[in-house]
Chain A
């Protein structure tokens, strides 16, 4: 009797397994090299629990009386920076997003340029943008607003371009065939299709920007961060804890607001 040929079932091909193995190996290698060469002073690590406990005892009890006199106005300013900055980002993201959508602008050079603008906006951190605009416009909320705007363009523009690329070409063809001008094609063909995504992106980014605008003040761009910076420099740890608590509360409230609007409207 001949033996039956044994079928060996494999989930992945050899190449797939090799690729996976390479990724894991590469990451393990990078990790071990990093762990060996990073300059960590072990004494600092052993000392850390003591220092953290010390920090926490200095933060307690909270100096809640500081909220009305020092924090509230700065918090309102922070929220305005976040909202106005997000609106600025939307205004800037519309042309860049259109330029980046390769079904609307069919010039590879312009697509590529838009992509470069969007990547630059995203890869430069909000604090670095804040530093740049504080140098240009001087310290204050104005620099912060522009910083939030420039930082968010990359995110909003990228998602907006992707939404534009996913639109159904049918209505656009119909409008073009009827001889509609470019502005009508955009307003009545593209815009209704991307509007829900657009407002969704706006809400999502506003939520992120509330968090970001709370820290850009550390380099002088206005808002609650400036109050935090002062308290840190003067070692008023009981005030620092109140500021952190109020940031936490505002961020959670913003997130709840955004989730409830998204559930209801979109």
Chain B
């Protein structure tokens, strides 16, 4: 009998009061925050009815405007490809200049601040600013994602460079190699594979984000998606969402294959 065993020996595991207190605090916080944000069970139940209507209208997905859909998806992919190419291209020198083991502090600090700026704003905020600056269309989306890529790859690339072994650098410097040769023959070979990994990951991220920047007018499928929302065109919306998920799955598959090639 479990009861008698427990009475005789006590619980086999020690009670962790700190963990229990932590869970209690979490529960209290959830109650406080739910109250603050006006999250309530009644609203949830009320929303479920709306949700059911919503899903009902989404089925079956309406693929009849597939020409528009395919055109938009292509534009989305184009934005992601161009932004990834330029983003990777720019983050190479920026990452080099921000690496503290290669450059003096007065060079690294401005570059590190620039990377932090690129990273701390969500791409949508960049998209809004660029739509105001360069007008509606894919150009704003491309510029947005270039900045987002610099923020992400620039940081990871800097960290990768800061972790390299300095011995090859010393050897090259001792042999009298110029700075450019030190970079090309001592630094880049050590970080090349990781850099390609970051780049393919960033391409994935850019593809996902390029489906969204259109919501604020920066080109790609997001604009069509937002329009479908506002016109309550939920069956077309379902078609758009399904094709976005499909596109992302395909790109994940491709990036896994690319990583295999460079392992």
Using a CB–CB cutoff of 8 Å, the interface residues on chain A facing chain B are 16, 19-20, 23, 27, 30-31, 33-35, 37-41, 44-45, 47-48, 51-52, 55, 77, 80-81, 83-84, 87, 119-120, 122-128, 131-132, 135-138, 140-142, 145, 188, 211-212, 214-215, 218-219, 222, 228, 232, 244, 247-248, 251-252, 255
B26 partner residues in chain A, CB cutoff 8 A: 87
Flag if B77 contacts A135 (CB, 8 Å).
no
A47 partner residues in chain B, CB cutoff 8 A: 134
Given A44-B139, A135-B229, A244-B121, A120 and B38 touching (CB < 8 A)? no
In the complex, which of the residues A34, A44, A128, A138 contacts B212, with contact meaning CB atoms closer than 8 Å? A128
Count of chain A to chain B residue pairs whose CB atoms are closer than 8 Å in the complex? 161
Q: Shortest CB–CB separation between residue A81 and chain B, in angstroms?
A: 7
Q: Which 5 A-B pairs have the closest CB atoms?
A: A123-B248, A34-B78, A125-B212, A141-B37, A137-B47
B138 partner residues in chain A, CB cutoff 8 A: 38-40
Residues of chain B at interface, number, CB under 8 A: 61
Q: Shortest CB–CB separation between residue B88 and chain A, in angstroms?
A: 10
In the complex, B262 has a CB within 8 A of chain A: yes
B1-44 to A contact mask, C-beta < 8 Å, 1/0: 00000000000010000000000001001100110111100011
In the complex, which of the residues B33, B50, B262 contacts A80, with contact meaning CB atoms closer than 8 Å? B33
Query: How far, in angstroms, from A45 to B140 measured CA to CA in the complex?
Result: 9
New A-B pairs, 15, CB < 8 Å, besides A120-B245, A135-B229: A19-B261, A34-B78, A40-B138, A55-B133, A81-B37, A122-B208, A123-B245, A127-B222, A128-B211, A128-B215, A131-B226, A137-B50, A140-B38, A218-B128, A255-B120
A140 partner residues in chain B, CB cutoff 8 A: 38
Using a CB–CB cutoff of 8 Å, the interface residues on chain B facing chain A are 13, 26, 29-30, 33-34, 36-39, 43-44, 46-47, 50-51, 54, 74-75, 77-79, 81-82, 85, 116-117, 120-122, 124-125, 128-129, 132-135, 137-139, 142, 208-209, 211-212, 215-216, 222, 225-226, 229, 241, 244-245, 248-249, 252, 258, 261-262
A123 partner residues in chain B, CB cutoff 8 A: 208, 244-245, 248-249
**Would you give 11 A-B contacts (Cβ < 8 Å), ordered by A?**
A34-B79, A52-B133, A55-B133, A119-B249, A124-B244, A127-B212, A131-B215, A142-B37, A145-B39, A218-B215, A252-B116
Q: Shortest CB–CB separation between residue A90 and chain B, in angstroms?
A: 10
Flag if A232 contacts B36 (CB, 8 Å).
no
Q: DSSP majority for the A interface?
A: helix
Query: How far, in angstroms, from A48 to B252 measured CA to CA in the complex?
Result: 34
Which single residue of chain B is at the shortest CB-CB distance from A243? B125
Given A40-B139, A119-B248, A219 and B36 touching (CB < 8 A)? no
